[in-house]
Amino acid sequence: MRDSLIRNNPSAVVTGVGLTPFSRNAGRSALELQGEAALQALDDAGIRARDVDTVIAGYATTVNHIMPGNLLAEYLGATPERAFGMNVGGATGLAMVAEAARLVWSGSADTVLVVGGENRASGQSRDAAIATLAQVGHATHEVALGANIPAYYALLASEYLHRYSLKREDLAPLAVQMREHARTHPGAQFHKSITVDDVLNAPLIAEPLGLLDCCPISDGSAAFVLSRRSEGTRSVEITGIGETNLHQHVSEADFSSVGARQSAEQALNQAGAVVTDIDIFGIYDSFTITLAILLEEIGIAQPGTAGGMARDGAFAATGKYPLNLHGGLLSYGHPGVAGGMAHMAELVIQIRGEAGSRQLVERPRRGFLHADGGVLSAHVSIVLDGGAYATPSTAEGLK
Amino acid sequence: MSELDDWTHGQRRLLGQRCDEGHAWYLPRPRCPRCGSAASPFEPIGTGTIFAQTTIHRRGDGGASSIGITLVDLDEGIRVMAQCAPGTSIGSRVVVSIVQDADTAQLFPYCEVIPA
C-alpha cells in the first residue's frame, strides 16, 4: 500500500545468502556465528564488506549489546553509512529484510547486509534462555504467575483445539512434516523421522503442547545481502512486504484475528499476487500451533484444517503448498533471529534452483514468507519473485 | 494505598481500568487503548469464564511439578491471566481472587471453579 508508492525503481534484490547449520552447540560465540553467515552472504553476492553501505543486525540474547550493527560491522571490516540493530522477537529477521528493502526502494541504500545469529543454546543455561524468552510476557501481570513462552502458545492452542473440537493429534502432523523435510538437510538440528505417536507420547511441556510440538533452542546464524536491481538468474526480487502489530501480550490478543491476515494481504497486494500464485512457502513454526494459526489466518488453510492438510501431504515437497522445506524452526532449529531467516534462505535457494537434492522438481518462481514475534504479536510478510527466468542456474550455492 | 495499587504492587486486590466511553481493560495504561480517553481504575467482582487454559509441567532437580495458567474473561469484560488448578476446563465458571504463595509471599490472581 504505502510502500507501493516507493517500490519499483530501484528494485530490491536478494543477491547474497548465508546460513550456518543449526545445532545444540556450534562451539562459537554469537559474533563469530554472525560473521560466518555474513561472509557467506557477501561471498555469495560477490562483494566485500567494504562495499556495504548499511548493516542491520538482530539482537542476540547472549550478547545484549547496545550497538549490534556497529559491533558486527567493525568485526567484518565494513564501514557503512548506517548501522543499527532491531528487536522484534522472532519477526526480527524478516523485519530487517523489510527495512532493508525500503531503504533500497527509497534510494537511500544500495547494498544492505542483514544478519542474525547467536549461540542461544550453548551460550547460556537452558533456564536462563527460557527466562529471557518469557520476558515477551507482561513482567508483572503474566511472568510473575510462572508463565513462559510455551505456556503463552499453549493458551492459544487450548482455545484453538476447543474452538474447532480438535485434539492434540490434529496438530501433530505439522511437526511430523517439518521433521520429514529436515531429514535430508545436512544443516538441520534433527534428522530422525518422527510419527504422530512420537509427538503425542513426548513429554508434555505446557498442555496441549508436548516437547515435539515445540521448536528447540539452537545455535546458528543467517544473513542476506540486498542490493539494487542486479540481473541474472540468481537474482530474487522482493516484490511485497507487509507488517502488522496489534498486541504485545497474550492477555491482550484477539485470538480470532492476531494480525497475520492483514500483514499477508498487504504483502500480496503489493506484489500483485494471491496465495494461489505462490509456488513455495516459508511460515514461522515456533510451535505446531503457531504454524496452524498462521496458515489459517494467511488463507492457505481453512480454519481448523492446517493439521489435517499436513496429514494429507499438502505441505510436502510434492504437495500443493511446499512449506519450510529446510525443516522449519521445529526441526532445522531456532537460534532466535536467524530462525525466521532460515525460511527465507531456503526460499531464495529454491527459487534460484540451487537446493540440490531438496530442489523442487518444478523450480518455484514466487515465494511467500511470514514470521511472528512475541506471542503472535509482531507480524511480517514478504513476497519473493525470481522473475521469468528461462534456464535454471547452474551455480553451486548452498546445499 | 493509591488508587492504582493492585496485587502487583503488593496490595491484595484485583484492578481493572475503564473509560467514560464504556471500554474496559486489564493491563495498566495511561489512557484508554481504544479511544484514548481518560482511564479510571475499578475492582471487578471476580466472577468470569475460563477462555483458555494450560498446565505447565516442570521437571527439575526438585522433581516434577505442574501449575495451571488460564485466561479468564471476567464478567466486566476484561481478560485476566490467573493461576488455576491443573486441567481446569475451558468454559468453566470461576471466581478470581488474590492469593499469596506460602513459600515466596508472592501475590497472584488465582481462580477457582464455582460449583454448579
Strand partners, A224: A17, A114
Query: What is the distance between the alpha carbons of residues B15 and B6, in angstroms, rounded to a whole number?
Result: 6
Instruction: Write down the pLDDT at residue A231.
Output: 67
Number of domains in chain B: 1
Pairing of strands A12-19, B40-42: unpaired
The answer as to whether B1 is a domain residue is: no
How far does A336 lie from chain B, in Å, by closest CA? Answer: 22
- Report whether B71 contacts A253 (CB < 8 A): no
| pLDDT score at A197 | 98
Predicted pLDDT at A62: 93
Is residue B75 assigned to a domain? yes
Query: With 0-12 CB in 10 A as exposed, 13-18 as middle and 19+ as buried, what is A162?
Result: middle
- Check if the beta carbon of residue B16 is closer than 8 Å to that of residue B41: yes
Per-residue pLDDT at A127:
86
Residue type, A256: S
Q: Residue A136 in contact with residue A378, Cβ under 8 Å?
A: no
Reported confidence tier of residue B59, pLDDT bands at 50, 70, 90: confident
Per-residue model confidence (pLDDT) at position B2: 67
pLDDT at B83: 97
Instruction: List chain A residues with pLDDT less than 50.
Output: 1, 390-399
Here the cell at position A47 is 562483494
Residues A51 and A47: their CA atoms lie apart, in Å, by 6
Confidence (pLDDT) at A393:
45
Residues of B with CB below 8 A from A207's CB? 54-55, 57, 87
Query: Is the confidence at residue B1, as pLDDT, over 80?
Result: no
CATH of the domain at B89: 2.40.50.840
All residues of chain A having their beta carbon less than 8 Å from the beta carbon of residue B109 are: 145
Q: Count of CB atoms within 10 A of residue B86's CB?
A: 16
pLDDT digits (tens, 9 = 90+) for A96-150: 999 999 999 999 999 999 999 999 999 999 888 888 888 889 999 999 999 999 9
* Beta strand extents in chain A (DSSP E only): 12-19, 54-58, 82-86, 111-119, 204-206, 209-210, 219-228, 236-245, 280-283, 366-373, 378-385
B23, part of any domain: yes
Q: How far is CA A161 from the centre of its chain?
A: 25
Q: Taking CB atoms and an 8 Å limit, are B27 and A205 in contact across chains?
A: no
Cα A45 to Cα A47: distance, rounded to the nearest angstrom: 6
Q: Which of B8, B55, B83 sits opposite A141 (nearest CB)?
A: B8
Number of residues in chain B? 116
Smallest Cα distance from A305 to chain B, Å: 20
Residues of A in contact with B48 (CB under 8 A): none
Cβ neighbours of A155 (radius 10 Å)? 26
DSSP secondary structure letters along B67-103: EEEEEEEETTS-EEEEEE-TTPPTT-EEEEEEEE-TT
Among A134, A354, A110, A328, residue whose Cα is nearest residue B58: A134
pLDDT digits (tens, 9 = 90+) for B8-26: 999 999 999 999 999 999 9
- Torsion A137-A139-A142-A148 (CA) sign: positive
Q: Is B2 within the bounds of a domain?
A: no
Q: What is the per-residue DSSP string for A56-75?
A: EEE--TTT--S-HHHHHHHH
Element (H, E) at B63: strand B63-74
How many angstroms separate the CA atoms of A103 and A99, rounded? 6
Longest distance between any two alpha carbons in chain B, whole Å: 51
Distance from A143 to chain B by nearest Cα, in Å? Answer: 10
B67 in a structural domain: yes
* Spatial distance between the Cα atoms of A231 and A129, rounded to a whole number of angstroms: 43
Task: Specify burial of residue B91 (Cβ count, 10 A radius: 0-12, 13-18, 19+).
Answer: exposed
Distance from CA of A288 to the nearest CA of B (A): 15
Give the pLDDT confidence of B77-109 residue by residue, as tens digits.
999 999 999 999 999 999 999 999 988 899 999
Query: Contact B59/A203, CB-based, under 8 Å?
Result: yes
State how far the Cα of A232 lies from the Cα of A242, in Å rounded to an integer.
Answer: 26
Rg over CA atoms, chain B: 16
Angle between helices A149-163 and A126-134 (to 10 degrees): 60
A95/A3 Cα distance (integer angstroms): 14
DSSP state of A215: P
ipTM of the complex: 0.96
Q: Which domain holds residue B67?
A: 7-113
Chain A residues close to B108, C-beta within 8 Å: 144-145
From chain A, pick out residues whose CB is under 8 angstroms from the CB of B52.
155-156, 158-159, 162, 255
pLDDT computed for residue B4 by the predictor: 73
